Amino acid sequence: DSGVTQTPKHLITATGQRVTLRCSPRSGDLSVYWYQQSLDQGLQFLIQYYNGEERAKGNILERFSAQQFPDLHSELNLSSLELGDSALYFCASSRGGQNTEAFFGQGTRLTVV
């Protein structure tokens, strides 16, 4: 167990809908990272938050957004969902903002139908 908790584990929703994925980092970790893993794109970095502020941005679509709350948990919001958004979404956390020793959660499997 990495100590990073993601909910829900599975999510099935229809195209055009909006969903929110939640991540609780390991105790004491200030950074949260979101990744998307699909069969044809591997692990893609989406966005990083450090102590409540956006630190780095990767290949995140405009339909997606995230935030990190004062208690350091993070949410990834995916809107106007398309079939191609079906993937595993992982959250990782690390102590600092340097992306060293980042520990991953178990992921949320999103299926858009």
Min dist. Cβ of residue 69 to other proteins (A): 21
Among 49, 87, 107, 110, binds other proteins (CB under 8 A): 107
Hey, what amino acid is at 93? S
Bridge-based pairing of strands 10-13 and 108-112 is parallel
Specify the residue, 16 or 96, whose C-beta has the smaller distance to other proteins: 96
Cβ atoms 8, 108 nearer than 8 A: yes
Site map (CB under 8 A) of other proteins, residues 24-53, x = contact = ---------x-----xxxxxxx--x-----
Among 56, 75, 79, 86, binds other proteins (CB under 8 A): 56
Among 7, 77, 80, 98, binds other proteins (CB under 8 A): 98
Which token pair is 109?
A: 């499997």
Cβ atoms 109, 88 nearer than 8 A: yes
Hey, what amino acid is at 94? S
* CA contacts within 13 A on the Cβ side of 82: 6
Per CB under 8 A, residues contacting other proteins are: 2, 4, 33, 39-45, 48, 55-59, 90, 92, 97-107
